Amino acid sequence: MSSDSTPISSNFLRSIIEDDLSNGKHGTIVTRFPPEPNGYLHIGHAKSICLNFGLAQQFGGRCHLRFDDTNPVKEELEFIESIKESVRWLGFEWGEHLYYASDNFEQLYQWAEYLIQQGKAYVEELSADDIRIYRGTLVEAGKESPFRDRPVDESLQLFRRMRAGEFPDGAKVLRARIDMSSPNMNLRDPVLYRIIHAPHPHVGDSWRIYPMYDFAHGQSDAIEGITHSICTLEFEDHKPLYDWFLENLPVPSHPRQYEFARLNLTYAVMSKRKLHELVTQGTVSGWDDPRMPTLMGLRRRGYTPAAVRTFCERIGVGRSDSWIDMSVLEECVREDLNESAPRVLAVLRPLKVVIDNYPVDQVEEFEAANHPQRPEMGSRVVSFSRELFIEQDDFSEAPPKGFFRMSPGNEVRLRYAYIVRCTGVIKDESGSIIEVRCQYDPASRGGSAADGRKIKGTIHWVSARHALEAEVRLFDRLFTDPNPDRGGVDYKQFLNSDSVEVLPAAKLEAGLSSTDCETRFQFERQGYFRLDPQDSSPGRLVFNRIVTLKDAWSKK
Protein backbone atom coordinates (compact mmCIF):
# COMPACT_ATOMS: atom_id res chain seq x y z
CA MET A 1 0.00 0.00 0.00
CA SER A 2 3.03 2.21 -0.35
CA SER A 3 1.43 4.24 -3.14
CA ASP A 4 -1.09 5.79 -0.75
CA SER A 5 -0.13 9.35 -0.09
CA THR A 6 -1.52 9.78 3.41
CA PRO A 7 0.92 8.65 6.10
CA ILE A 8 -0.38 6.29 8.75
CA SER A 9 -1.39 8.28 11.79
CA SER A 10 -2.25 6.98 15.17
CA ASN A 11 -5.70 6.21 16.47
CA PHE A 12 -7.04 4.68 19.66
CA LEU A 13 -7.19 1.18 18.19
CA ARG A 14 -3.56 1.33 17.07
CA SER A 15 -2.60 2.39 20.59
CA ILE A 16 -4.53 -0.50 22.14
CA ILE A 17 -2.90 -2.98 19.79
CA GLU A 18 0.58 -1.55 20.37
CA ASP A 19 0.04 -1.99 24.11
CA ASP A 20 -1.29 -5.53 23.73
CA LEU A 21 1.71 -6.50 21.63
CA SER A 22 4.31 -4.80 23.79
CA ASN A 23 3.04 -6.21 27.08
CA GLY A 24 2.78 -9.69 25.59
CA LYS A 25 -1.00 -10.04 25.80
CA HIS A 26 -0.92 -11.16 22.17
CA GLY A 27 1.93 -12.36 19.99
CA THR A 28 0.00 -11.80 16.78
CA ILE A 29 -3.17 -9.86 16.23
CA VAL A 30 -6.14 -11.27 14.37
CA THR A 31 -8.99 -9.06 13.14
CA ARG A 32 -11.93 -9.76 10.87
CA PHE A 33 -14.32 -8.00 8.53
CA PRO A 34 -17.74 -9.57 9.20
CA PRO A 35 -20.36 -8.58 6.62
CA GLU A 36 -23.80 -10.11 6.57
CA PRO A 37 -24.31 -11.21 2.94
CA ASN A 38 -27.62 -9.41 2.60
CA GLY A 39 -26.58 -6.57 0.29
CA TYR A 40 -23.73 -4.89 -1.54
CA LEU A 41 -20.95 -3.04 0.22
CA HIS A 42 -20.83 0.74 0.40
CA ILE A 43 -18.22 3.34 1.29
CA GLY A 44 -19.07 2.91 4.99
CA HIS A 45 -18.01 -0.71 4.78
CA ALA A 46 -14.78 0.42 3.14
CA LYS A 47 -13.93 2.20 6.39
CA SER A 48 -14.36 -1.04 8.31
CA ILE A 49 -12.43 -3.06 5.69
CA CYS A 50 -9.51 -0.63 5.59
CA LEU A 51 -9.46 -0.51 9.38
CA ASN A 52 -9.52 -4.27 9.98
CA PHE A 53 -7.25 -5.31 7.12
CA GLY A 54 -5.08 -2.23 7.61
CA LEU A 55 -4.43 -2.95 11.31
CA ALA A 56 -3.54 -6.55 10.51
CA GLN A 57 -1.11 -5.37 7.83
CA GLN A 58 0.44 -2.70 9.97
CA PHE A 59 1.06 -5.02 12.91
CA GLY A 60 2.04 -8.13 10.96
CA GLY A 61 -1.13 -10.00 11.93
CA ARG A 62 -3.95 -11.29 9.80
CA CYS A 63 -7.50 -10.34 8.95
CA HIS A 64 -10.27 -12.83 8.25
CA LEU A 65 -13.18 -12.34 5.93
CA ARG A 66 -16.18 -13.81 7.69
CA PHE A 67 -19.72 -13.91 6.45
CA ASP A 68 -22.06 -13.48 9.39
CA ASP A 69 -24.74 -15.46 7.65
CA THR A 70 -27.29 -16.24 10.33
CA ASN A 71 -30.43 -15.13 8.52
CA PRO A 72 -31.18 -17.44 5.58
CA VAL A 73 -34.16 -15.43 4.40
CA LYS A 74 -32.32 -12.25 3.40
CA GLU A 75 -29.03 -13.69 2.27
CA GLU A 76 -27.91 -14.66 -1.20
CA LEU A 77 -24.86 -16.18 -2.89
CA GLU A 78 -24.76 -13.23 -5.26
CA PHE A 79 -23.98 -10.91 -2.33
CA ILE A 80 -21.20 -13.21 -1.13
CA GLU A 81 -19.45 -13.07 -4.50
CA SER A 82 -19.90 -9.34 -4.83
CA ILE A 83 -18.55 -8.69 -1.32
CA LYS A 84 -15.44 -10.78 -2.02
CA GLU A 85 -14.87 -8.91 -5.25
CA SER A 86 -15.22 -5.53 -3.56
CA VAL A 87 -12.78 -6.40 -0.77
CA ARG A 88 -10.24 -7.60 -3.34
CA TRP A 89 -10.83 -4.50 -5.44
CA LEU A 90 -9.97 -2.38 -2.42
CA GLY A 91 -6.64 -4.20 -2.38
CA PHE A 92 -7.04 -6.63 0.50
CA GLU A 93 -6.64 -10.39 0.59
CA TRP A 94 -7.77 -12.88 3.22
CA GLY A 95 -5.86 -15.84 1.79
CA GLU A 96 -7.05 -19.06 3.38
CA HIS A 97 -8.93 -17.18 6.08
CA LEU A 98 -12.40 -17.14 4.60
CA TYR A 99 -15.05 -18.14 7.12
CA TYR A 100 -18.79 -18.44 7.45
CA ALA A 101 -20.60 -18.20 10.74
CA SER A 102 -22.83 -20.92 9.31
CA ASP A 103 -19.86 -23.33 9.28
CA ASN A 104 -20.09 -23.09 13.08
CA PHE A 105 -23.79 -23.97 13.27
CA GLU A 106 -23.19 -27.44 14.73
CA GLN A 107 -20.80 -26.10 17.37
CA LEU A 108 -23.19 -23.26 18.19
CA TYR A 109 -26.00 -25.76 18.54
CA GLN A 110 -23.90 -27.83 20.96
CA TRP A 111 -23.15 -24.71 22.97
CA ALA A 112 -26.84 -23.87 23.10
CA GLU A 113 -27.52 -27.34 24.58
CA TYR A 114 -24.67 -26.72 27.00
CA LEU A 115 -26.33 -23.52 28.22
CA ILE A 116 -29.63 -25.37 28.66
CA GLN A 117 -27.87 -28.05 30.70
CA GLN A 118 -26.27 -25.39 32.86
CA GLY A 119 -29.70 -23.90 33.55
CA LYS A 120 -28.71 -20.83 31.50
CA ALA A 121 -31.13 -21.19 28.60
CA TYR A 122 -34.73 -22.32 28.16
CA VAL A 123 -37.29 -22.93 25.45
CA GLU A 124 -39.80 -20.11 25.39
CA GLU A 125 -43.38 -20.56 24.21
CA LEU A 126 -44.72 -17.06 24.67
CA SER A 127 -45.67 -15.38 21.41
CA ALA A 128 -43.32 -12.78 19.91
CA ASP A 129 -45.72 -10.05 21.06
CA ASP A 130 -45.77 -11.33 24.63
CA ILE A 131 -42.01 -11.64 24.69
CA ARG A 132 -41.82 -7.99 23.77
CA ILE A 133 -44.33 -6.95 26.42
CA TYR A 134 -42.61 -9.05 29.10
CA ARG A 135 -39.26 -7.53 28.20
CA GLY A 136 -40.25 -4.20 29.80
CA THR A 137 -38.86 -0.83 28.82
CA LEU A 138 -35.77 1.25 29.43
CA VAL A 139 -37.34 2.64 32.62
CA GLU A 140 -39.21 -0.45 33.73
CA ALA A 141 -37.86 -3.91 34.62
CA GLY A 142 -38.99 -6.88 32.56
CA LYS A 143 -41.19 -9.69 33.81
CA GLU A 144 -40.08 -13.30 33.94
CA SER A 145 -41.68 -15.68 31.49
CA PRO A 146 -43.78 -18.57 32.92
CA PHE A 147 -41.48 -20.90 30.92
CA ARG A 148 -38.29 -19.53 32.44
CA ASP A 149 -38.07 -22.11 35.22
CA ARG A 150 -39.15 -25.15 33.25
CA PRO A 151 -37.02 -28.26 33.91
CA VAL A 152 -33.73 -28.51 32.04
CA ASP A 153 -34.79 -31.80 30.46
CA GLU A 154 -38.01 -30.35 29.11
CA SER A 155 -36.14 -27.49 27.42
CA LEU A 156 -33.57 -29.91 26.06
CA GLN A 157 -36.21 -32.20 24.55
CA LEU A 158 -38.13 -29.27 23.05
CA PHE A 159 -34.95 -27.72 21.64
CA ARG A 160 -34.05 -31.04 19.98
CA ARG A 161 -37.54 -31.22 18.51
CA MET A 162 -37.17 -27.62 17.25
CA ARG A 163 -34.01 -28.74 15.47
CA ALA A 164 -35.82 -31.76 14.04
CA GLY A 165 -38.34 -29.43 12.42
CA GLU A 166 -41.36 -30.52 14.46
CA PHE A 167 -42.69 -26.98 15.03
CA PRO A 168 -43.73 -24.23 12.64
CA ASP A 169 -41.90 -20.91 12.27
CA GLY A 170 -42.32 -18.72 15.33
CA ALA A 171 -43.88 -21.41 17.56
CA LYS A 172 -40.99 -21.42 20.02
CA VAL A 173 -37.61 -19.81 20.60
CA LEU A 174 -34.60 -20.60 22.73
CA ARG A 175 -33.72 -17.83 25.20
CA ALA A 176 -30.72 -17.24 27.42
CA ARG A 177 -31.60 -17.08 31.11
CA ILE A 178 -29.75 -14.00 32.27
CA ASP A 179 -31.55 -11.15 34.02
CA MET A 180 -35.03 -9.79 33.27
CA SER A 181 -34.38 -6.69 35.37
CA SER A 182 -31.02 -5.75 33.88
CA PRO A 183 -30.79 -2.09 32.90
CA ASN A 184 -29.28 -3.38 29.64
CA MET A 185 -32.17 -4.66 27.54
CA ASN A 186 -29.81 -7.00 25.68
CA LEU A 187 -29.39 -9.02 28.87
CA ARG A 188 -33.12 -9.53 29.46
CA ASP A 189 -33.15 -13.16 28.39
CA PRO A 190 -32.19 -12.55 24.75
CA VAL A 191 -33.40 -14.92 22.06
CA LEU A 192 -30.67 -17.34 20.92
CA TYR A 193 -32.47 -19.45 18.31
CA ARG A 194 -35.55 -19.12 16.17
CA ILE A 195 -37.35 -21.58 13.94
CA ILE A 196 -37.08 -20.80 10.25
CA HIS A 197 -38.06 -23.41 7.70
CA ALA A 198 -35.92 -22.08 4.90
CA PRO A 199 -32.80 -23.34 3.16
CA HIS A 200 -29.56 -21.48 3.76
CA PRO A 201 -27.43 -20.18 0.87
CA HIS A 202 -24.22 -21.64 2.32
CA VAL A 203 -25.23 -24.75 4.29
CA GLY A 204 -28.29 -25.79 2.32
CA ASP A 205 -31.38 -27.28 3.93
CA SER A 206 -29.83 -28.98 6.94
CA TRP A 207 -31.27 -26.58 9.53
CA ARG A 208 -34.75 -25.67 10.75
CA ILE A 209 -33.48 -23.42 13.52
CA TYR A 210 -31.03 -20.58 13.13
CA PRO A 211 -28.94 -18.75 15.75
CA MET A 212 -29.41 -15.05 16.30
CA TYR A 213 -26.59 -12.76 15.22
CA ASP A 214 -25.55 -12.09 18.84
CA PHE A 215 -25.26 -15.80 19.59
CA ALA A 216 -23.16 -16.45 16.49
CA HIS A 217 -20.93 -13.43 16.24
CA GLY A 218 -18.80 -13.51 19.38
CA GLN A 219 -18.51 -17.29 19.39
CA SER A 220 -17.35 -17.22 15.78
CA ASP A 221 -14.75 -14.65 16.82
CA ALA A 222 -13.66 -17.03 19.59
CA ILE A 223 -13.49 -20.06 17.30
CA GLU A 224 -11.36 -18.16 14.79
CA GLY A 225 -9.06 -16.82 17.49
CA ILE A 226 -9.86 -13.18 16.77
CA THR A 227 -7.94 -10.95 19.18
CA HIS A 228 -9.56 -7.59 18.44
CA SER A 229 -13.21 -7.69 17.41
CA ILE A 230 -13.79 -4.23 15.98
CA CYS A 231 -17.33 -3.06 15.30
CA THR A 232 -19.36 0.12 15.06
CA LEU A 233 -20.70 2.00 18.09
CA GLU A 234 -24.24 0.65 17.92
CA PHE A 235 -22.85 -2.63 19.24
CA GLU A 236 -21.59 -1.04 22.45
CA ASP A 237 -24.79 -2.07 24.25
CA HIS A 238 -24.30 -5.62 23.04
CA LYS A 239 -20.85 -5.94 24.55
CA PRO A 240 -22.06 -7.23 27.96
CA LEU A 241 -23.93 -9.97 26.09
CA TYR A 242 -20.93 -10.66 23.85
CA ASP A 243 -18.86 -11.16 27.01
CA TRP A 244 -21.56 -13.14 28.82
CA PHE A 245 -21.57 -15.80 26.11
CA LEU A 246 -17.79 -16.04 26.08
CA GLU A 247 -17.67 -16.31 29.88
CA ASN A 248 -20.42 -18.92 30.10
CA LEU A 249 -19.36 -21.21 27.26
CA PRO A 250 -16.27 -23.43 26.92
CA VAL A 251 -14.91 -21.32 24.06
CA PRO A 252 -11.28 -21.65 22.91
CA SER A 253 -10.44 -17.95 23.30
CA HIS A 254 -11.87 -14.70 24.59
CA PRO A 255 -11.67 -11.92 22.01
CA ARG A 256 -12.23 -8.30 23.07
CA GLN A 257 -14.76 -6.09 21.36
CA TYR A 258 -13.88 -2.48 20.52
CA GLU A 259 -16.25 0.03 18.96
CA PHE A 260 -15.58 2.92 16.59
CA ALA A 261 -17.80 5.57 15.00
CA ARG A 262 -19.33 4.62 11.68
CA LEU A 263 -18.77 6.71 8.59
CA ASN A 264 -21.54 9.15 7.75
CA LEU A 265 -21.11 10.84 4.39
CA THR A 266 -22.95 13.98 3.25
CA TYR A 267 -25.08 14.02 0.08
CA ALA A 268 -25.54 10.25 0.27
CA VAL A 269 -27.77 7.64 1.82
CA MET A 270 -26.15 4.47 3.05
CA SER A 271 -28.89 2.37 4.54
CA LYS A 272 -29.26 -0.86 2.62
CA ARG A 273 -33.01 -0.42 2.50
CA LYS A 274 -32.80 3.02 0.90
CA LEU A 275 -30.10 2.02 -1.56
CA HIS A 276 -32.31 -0.91 -2.49
CA GLU A 277 -35.24 1.44 -3.01
CA LEU A 278 -33.20 3.65 -5.35
CA VAL A 279 -32.43 0.58 -7.45
CA THR A 280 -35.86 -1.04 -7.49
CA GLN A 281 -37.68 2.23 -8.15
CA GLY A 282 -35.39 2.93 -11.10
CA THR A 283 -33.98 6.18 -9.67
CA VAL A 284 -30.54 4.82 -10.53
CA SER A 285 -29.59 2.29 -13.17
CA GLY A 286 -28.49 -0.38 -10.69
CA TRP A 287 -26.28 -1.12 -7.69
CA ASP A 288 -23.29 -0.12 -9.78
CA ASP A 289 -24.75 3.16 -11.00
CA PRO A 290 -21.77 5.56 -10.95
CA ARG A 291 -23.67 7.91 -8.61
CA MET A 292 -24.22 5.26 -5.94
CA PRO A 293 -22.05 5.22 -2.77
CA THR A 294 -21.67 1.46 -3.20
CA LEU A 295 -18.19 0.12 -3.86
CA MET A 296 -19.53 -1.25 -7.15
CA GLY A 297 -20.75 2.22 -8.04
CA LEU A 298 -17.50 3.97 -7.11
CA ARG A 299 -15.60 1.35 -9.02
CA ARG A 300 -17.67 1.74 -12.15
CA ARG A 301 -17.43 5.51 -11.92
CA GLY A 302 -13.65 5.09 -12.05
CA TYR A 303 -12.60 5.81 -8.45
CA THR A 304 -9.30 4.10 -7.71
CA PRO A 305 -8.89 1.72 -4.78
CA ALA A 306 -5.88 3.78 -3.66
CA ALA A 307 -8.05 6.90 -3.44
CA VAL A 308 -10.65 5.09 -1.34
CA ARG A 309 -7.94 3.76 0.97
CA THR A 310 -6.45 7.24 1.33
CA PHE A 311 -9.91 8.55 2.18
CA CYS A 312 -10.42 5.91 4.88
CA GLU A 313 -7.03 6.73 6.37
CA ARG A 314 -7.56 10.48 6.22
CA ILE A 315 -10.96 10.52 7.94
CA GLY A 316 -9.43 8.70 10.89
CA VAL A 317 -11.01 6.43 13.45
CA GLY A 318 -12.67 7.81 16.53
CA ARG A 319 -15.42 7.12 18.99
CA SER A 320 -17.75 10.02 18.38
CA ASP A 321 -20.21 10.20 15.53
CA SER A 322 -19.31 12.74 12.92
CA TRP A 323 -20.12 13.65 9.34
CA ILE A 324 -17.58 13.59 6.57
CA ASP A 325 -18.19 15.85 3.63
CA MET A 326 -18.42 14.23 0.23
CA SER A 327 -15.80 16.72 -0.98
CA VAL A 328 -13.19 14.94 1.17
CA LEU A 329 -13.72 11.74 -0.80
CA GLU A 330 -13.69 13.64 -4.10
CA GLU A 331 -10.47 15.39 -3.15
CA CYS A 332 -8.76 12.03 -2.45
CA VAL A 333 -9.73 10.84 -5.92
CA ARG A 334 -8.53 14.08 -7.49
CA GLU A 335 -5.16 13.91 -5.73
CA ASP A 336 -4.57 10.34 -6.81
CA LEU A 337 -5.55 10.96 -10.42
CA ASN A 338 -3.63 14.22 -10.63
CA GLU A 339 -0.48 12.18 -10.02
CA SER A 340 -1.20 9.31 -12.34
CA ALA A 341 -3.63 10.28 -15.10
CA PRO A 342 -2.25 11.07 -18.56
CA ARG A 343 -3.58 14.32 -20.01
CA VAL A 344 -5.52 14.38 -23.26
CA LEU A 345 -7.56 16.87 -25.26
CA ALA A 346 -11.29 16.33 -25.45
CA VAL A 347 -14.09 18.69 -26.39
CA LEU A 348 -17.31 17.89 -24.56
CA ARG A 349 -19.73 20.37 -26.18
CA PRO A 350 -18.26 20.94 -29.63
CA LEU A 351 -18.33 24.15 -31.64
CA LYS A 352 -16.76 24.05 -35.10
CA VAL A 353 -13.88 26.39 -35.90
CA VAL A 354 -12.51 26.92 -39.43
CA ILE A 355 -9.09 28.52 -39.93
CA ASP A 356 -9.54 30.31 -43.24
CA ASN A 357 -5.85 30.87 -43.98
CA TYR A 358 -4.76 27.30 -43.16
CA PRO A 359 -4.19 25.06 -46.23
CA VAL A 360 -7.17 22.79 -46.84
CA ASP A 361 -5.29 19.49 -46.99
CA GLN A 362 -2.50 20.25 -44.56
CA VAL A 363 -2.08 18.26 -41.36
CA GLU A 364 0.56 19.04 -38.75
CA GLU A 365 1.51 17.01 -35.74
CA PHE A 366 2.34 18.59 -32.42
CA GLU A 367 4.05 16.93 -29.53
CA ALA A 368 2.03 17.05 -26.33
CA ALA A 369 3.33 16.03 -22.90
CA ASN A 370 1.29 13.33 -21.20
CA HIS A 371 1.82 14.94 -17.80
CA PRO A 372 3.05 18.47 -17.20
CA GLN A 373 5.15 17.57 -14.14
CA ARG A 374 6.16 14.03 -15.02
CA PRO A 375 8.35 13.82 -18.11
CA GLU A 376 8.81 10.10 -17.50
CA MET A 377 5.20 9.67 -18.61
CA GLY A 378 6.31 10.64 -22.11
CA SER A 379 4.46 12.45 -24.83
CA ARG A 380 2.22 11.82 -27.80
CA VAL A 381 1.43 13.60 -31.06
CA VAL A 382 -1.83 15.40 -31.71
CA SER A 383 -2.94 16.21 -35.24
CA PHE A 384 -3.91 19.70 -36.29
CA SER A 385 -5.86 20.72 -39.40
CA ARG A 386 -7.99 23.48 -40.85
CA GLU A 387 -11.22 22.48 -39.15
CA LEU A 388 -11.29 22.03 -35.39
CA PHE A 389 -13.69 21.71 -32.51
CA ILE A 390 -13.51 23.85 -29.40
CA GLU A 391 -15.82 24.01 -26.38
CA GLN A 392 -18.95 26.08 -26.94
CA ASP A 393 -18.28 28.03 -23.78
CA ASP A 394 -14.73 28.87 -24.88
CA PHE A 395 -16.32 31.20 -27.43
CA SER A 396 -18.30 34.33 -26.71
CA GLU A 397 -19.69 36.66 -29.33
CA ALA A 398 -20.16 39.43 -26.80
CA PRO A 399 -17.57 38.59 -24.17
CA PRO A 400 -17.98 39.80 -20.61
CA LYS A 401 -15.06 41.74 -19.12
CA GLY A 402 -12.15 39.48 -18.30
CA PHE A 403 -13.07 36.82 -20.88
CA PHE A 404 -9.73 35.76 -22.38
CA ARG A 405 -10.89 32.91 -24.53
CA MET A 406 -12.12 33.15 -28.13
CA SER A 407 -14.20 36.15 -29.19
CA PRO A 408 -14.42 38.24 -32.38
CA GLY A 409 -11.23 40.21 -32.97
CA ASN A 410 -9.44 38.61 -30.04
CA GLU A 411 -6.38 36.35 -30.12
CA VAL A 412 -6.24 33.08 -28.25
CA ARG A 413 -3.74 30.24 -28.06
CA LEU A 414 -4.77 26.79 -29.22
CA ARG A 415 -2.94 24.53 -26.78
CA TYR A 416 0.31 23.10 -28.24
CA ALA A 417 -0.45 24.55 -31.72
CA TYR A 418 -0.93 28.14 -32.90
CA ILE A 419 -2.27 31.52 -31.99
CA VAL A 420 -5.50 32.30 -33.83
CA ARG A 421 -7.65 35.40 -34.16
CA CYS A 422 -11.40 35.11 -34.55
CA THR A 423 -12.71 36.93 -37.60
CA GLY A 424 -16.40 36.18 -37.49
CA VAL A 425 -19.17 33.67 -36.99
CA ILE A 426 -21.72 31.85 -39.12
CA LYS A 427 -25.22 31.43 -37.76
CA ASP A 428 -28.20 29.32 -38.71
CA GLU A 429 -31.68 30.78 -39.40
CA SER A 430 -32.50 30.78 -35.72
CA GLY A 431 -29.45 32.88 -34.92
CA SER A 432 -27.40 30.15 -33.22
CA ILE A 433 -23.70 30.12 -33.95
CA ILE A 434 -22.81 27.03 -35.94
CA GLU A 435 -19.28 27.90 -36.96
CA VAL A 436 -16.51 30.27 -35.96
CA ARG A 437 -14.02 31.61 -38.50
CA CYS A 438 -10.40 32.36 -37.63
CA GLN A 439 -7.01 33.33 -39.04
CA TYR A 440 -3.92 31.69 -37.63
CA ASP A 441 -0.49 33.21 -37.15
CA PRO A 442 1.89 30.87 -39.02
CA ALA A 443 4.83 32.30 -37.05
CA SER A 444 3.39 31.07 -33.74
CA ARG A 445 4.00 27.35 -34.24
CA GLY A 446 3.99 25.65 -30.84
CA GLY A 447 1.87 28.43 -29.38
CA SER A 448 4.20 31.35 -28.74
CA ALA A 449 4.28 34.55 -30.79
CA ALA A 450 7.48 35.31 -32.70
CA ASP A 451 7.34 38.92 -31.58
CA GLY A 452 6.86 37.98 -27.95
CA ARG A 453 3.36 39.50 -27.63
CA LYS A 454 1.38 38.15 -24.70
CA ILE A 455 -1.61 35.94 -25.28
CA LYS A 456 -3.75 35.62 -22.20
CA GLY A 457 -6.01 32.72 -23.04
CA THR A 458 -5.26 29.11 -23.94
CA ILE A 459 -8.00 26.76 -24.98
CA HIS A 460 -8.10 23.11 -25.96
CA TRP A 461 -9.27 21.78 -29.30
CA VAL A 462 -9.57 18.61 -31.37
CA SER A 463 -8.97 18.34 -35.11
CA ALA A 464 -12.33 17.67 -36.76
CA ARG A 465 -11.11 15.18 -39.32
CA HIS A 466 -9.14 13.19 -36.73
CA ALA A 467 -11.62 13.34 -33.88
CA LEU A 468 -13.20 10.32 -32.26
CA GLU A 469 -16.79 10.68 -31.23
CA ALA A 470 -17.87 9.60 -27.78
CA GLU A 471 -20.73 9.81 -25.35
CA VAL A 472 -19.64 11.50 -22.14
CA ARG A 473 -21.53 11.27 -18.88
CA LEU A 474 -21.11 13.95 -16.26
CA PHE A 475 -22.25 13.07 -12.77
CA ASP A 476 -23.30 15.22 -9.92
CA ARG A 477 -24.32 14.29 -6.40
CA LEU A 478 -27.42 12.19 -6.09
CA PHE A 479 -28.93 14.51 -3.47
CA THR A 480 -29.12 18.27 -3.21
CA ASP A 481 -29.19 18.25 0.58
CA PRO A 482 -26.13 17.41 2.68
CA ASN A 483 -28.16 15.21 4.96
CA PRO A 484 -31.01 13.62 3.01
CA ASP A 485 -31.35 10.76 5.49
CA ARG A 486 -31.81 12.90 8.59
CA GLY A 487 -35.11 11.32 9.54
CA GLY A 488 -38.53 12.89 9.81
CA VAL A 489 -38.51 13.72 6.10
CA ASP A 490 -38.62 11.63 2.96
CA TYR A 491 -35.06 11.46 1.63
CA LYS A 492 -36.42 11.17 -1.91
CA GLN A 493 -37.57 14.79 -1.87
CA PHE A 494 -33.88 15.75 -1.99
CA LEU A 495 -33.03 13.76 -5.11
CA ASN A 496 -31.00 15.89 -7.49
CA SER A 497 -32.84 15.87 -10.80
CA ASP A 498 -29.64 16.92 -12.58
CA SER A 499 -27.36 14.27 -11.18
CA VAL A 500 -26.40 12.99 -14.61
CA GLU A 501 -25.85 14.89 -17.83
CA VAL A 502 -25.27 12.95 -21.04
CA LEU A 503 -23.26 14.64 -23.78
CA PRO A 504 -23.90 12.53 -26.86
CA ALA A 505 -21.28 13.81 -29.27
CA ALA A 506 -18.07 14.77 -27.53
CA LYS A 507 -14.91 14.91 -29.68
CA LEU A 508 -11.73 13.26 -28.46
CA GLU A 509 -8.17 13.23 -29.72
CA ALA A 510 -7.55 10.23 -31.93
CA GLY A 511 -5.11 8.44 -29.63
CA LEU A 512 -7.98 7.49 -27.34
CA SER A 513 -9.19 4.90 -29.84
CA SER A 514 -7.00 2.24 -28.26
CA THR A 515 -7.73 2.92 -24.61
CA ASP A 516 -9.07 0.46 -22.06
CA CYS A 517 -11.24 0.78 -18.98
CA GLU A 518 -8.26 0.64 -16.65
CA THR A 519 -6.75 3.93 -17.81
CA ARG A 520 -8.02 7.12 -16.26
CA PHE A 521 -7.37 10.33 -18.17
CA GLN A 522 -7.41 13.95 -17.39
CA PHE A 523 -9.39 15.65 -20.14
CA GLU A 524 -7.60 18.97 -19.90
CA ARG A 525 -9.70 21.62 -18.15
CA GLN A 526 -12.65 19.18 -17.79
CA GLY A 527 -11.80 16.67 -15.11
CA TYR A 528 -10.85 13.02 -14.88
CA PHE A 529 -12.54 10.43 -17.06
CA ARG A 530 -12.45 6.81 -18.01
CA LEU A 531 -14.36 4.44 -20.25
CA ASP A 532 -17.52 3.01 -18.76
CA PRO A 533 -16.88 -0.74 -18.48
CA GLN A 534 -20.53 -1.69 -18.98
CA ASP A 535 -21.74 0.49 -21.80
CA SER A 536 -18.64 0.87 -23.96
CA SER A 537 -18.04 -1.56 -26.79
CA PRO A 538 -15.71 -1.70 -29.79
CA GLY A 539 -17.87 0.63 -31.88
CA ARG A 540 -19.04 2.81 -29.01
CA LEU A 541 -17.02 4.95 -26.63
CA VAL A 542 -18.77 5.97 -23.41
CA PHE A 543 -16.73 7.96 -20.91
CA ASN A 544 -17.66 8.65 -17.29
CA ARG A 545 -16.42 11.73 -15.56
CA ILE A 546 -14.91 10.43 -12.33
CA VAL A 547 -14.45 13.82 -10.72
CA THR A 548 -14.11 17.45 -11.74
CA LEU A 549 -10.75 19.26 -11.60
CA LYS A 550 -11.88 21.49 -8.78
CA ASP A 551 -14.52 21.32 -6.12
CA ALA A 552 -17.45 22.87 -7.94
CA TRP A 553 -19.69 22.63 -4.89
CA SER A 554 -17.72 25.00 -2.73
CA LYS A 555 -18.84 27.75 -5.11
CA LYS A 556 -22.53 26.83 -5.12
- Rounded distance, CA 207 to CA 198, Å? 8
The single residue of 262, 274, 314, 421 carrying the catalytic annotation is 262
> Within its chain, how far is the Cα of 466 from the centroid?
37
Q: Which is nearer to ligand ATP, 272 or 437 (CB)?
A: 272
Q: Does 47 bind ligand ATP (CB under 6 A)?
A: yes
Q: How far is the CB of 83 from ligand ATP (least distance, A)?
A: 8
Q: Which is nearer to ligand ATP, 4 or 68 (CB)?
A: 68
Closest to 459 measured CA to CA, from 353, 383, 360: 353
The single residue of 32, 36, 256, 524 carrying the catalytic annotation is 36
Q: Which residues between 251 and 290 bind ligand ATP (CB under 6 A)?
A: 262-263, 270, 272
**Cβ atoms 131, 124 nearer than 8 A:** yes
Q: Which of 13, 30, 35, 208 binds ligand ATP (CB under 6 A)?
A: 35
What are the E-state strand segments in 345-476?
A: 346-347, 350-355, 364-369, 379-384, 387-391, 411-414, 419-427, 433-440, 458-459, 462-463, 468-475
Closest to 173 measured CA to CA, from 187, 198, 160, 191: 191
- Rounded distance, CA 45 to CA 263, Å? 8
- Rounded distance, CA 548 to CA 542, Å? 17
* 75 DSSP 8-state letter: -
Per-residue x/- mask for ligand ATP, residues 203 to 242, rule CB under 6 A?
Answer: ----------------------------xx----------
| 262 is annotated as an active-site residue | yes
Q: Which is nearer to ligand ATP, 47 or 175 (CB)?
A: 47
How far CA 364 is from CA of 339, 350, 386, 388, in Å, comes to: 30, 21, 10, 13
Q: Does 542 bind ligand ATP (CB under 6 A)?
A: no
**Considering only 28-36, 103-111, 334-342, 539-547, which stretch makes contact with ligand ATP by CB under 6 A?**
28-36
Helix 213-224 with 105-117: angle, nearest 10 deg: 110
H or E segment at 19? Answer: helix 12-22
Q: Which of 30, 31, 36, 384 binds ligand ATP (CB under 6 A)?
A: 36
**Considering only 17-25, 35-43, 132-140, 286-294, which stretch makes contact with ligand ATP by CB under 6 A?**
35-43
Q: How far is the CB of 449 from ligand ATP (least distance, A)?
A: 56
3-state DSSP helix/strand/coil % of the chain, to nearest 5: 30, 25, 45
Site size for ligand ATP (CB under 6 A):
14
Q: Does 34 bind ligand ATP (CB under 6 A)?
A: yes
| 36 is annotated as an active-site residue | yes
**Cβ atoms 345, 415 nearer than 8 A:** yes
Q: Does 11 bind ligand ATP (CB under 6 A)?
A: no
* Residues written for the chain: 556
Within 8 A by CB and 6+ apart from 112, the residues are 121, 159, 174, 192, 193, 211, 215
Q: Which is nearer to ligand ATP, 38 or 383 (CB)?
A: 38
Q: Which is nearer to ligand ATP, 263 or 506 (CB)?
A: 263
Q: Which of 5, 38, 410, 423 binds ligand ATP (CB under 6 A)?
A: 38
**Considering only 38-46, 125-133, 135-143, 177-185, which stretch makes contact with ligand ATP by CB under 6 A?**
38-46
Q: How far is the CB of 325 from ligand ATP (least distance, A)?
A: 15
> Within its chain, how far is the Cα of 311 from the centroid?
11
The single residue of 161, 272, 274, 421 carrying the catalytic annotation is 272
Q: Does 72 bind ligand ATP (CB under 6 A)?
A: no
Q: How far is the CB of 321 from ligand ATP (least distance, A)?
A: 10
How far CA 52 is from CA of 17, 227, 312, 338, 450, in Å, comes to: 12, 11, 11, 28, 61
- Enumerate the H helices of 269-354 as residue ranges: 272-280, 295-301, 305-315, 326-340
Q: Which is nearer to ligand ATP, 273 or 555 (CB)?
A: 273
Q: Which of 45, 309, 386, 460 binds ligand ATP (CB under 6 A)?
A: 45
Binding site for ligand ATP (CB under 6 A): 34-36, 38, 44-45, 47-48, 231-232, 262-263, 270, 272
Catalytic residue ranges: 36, 262, 272
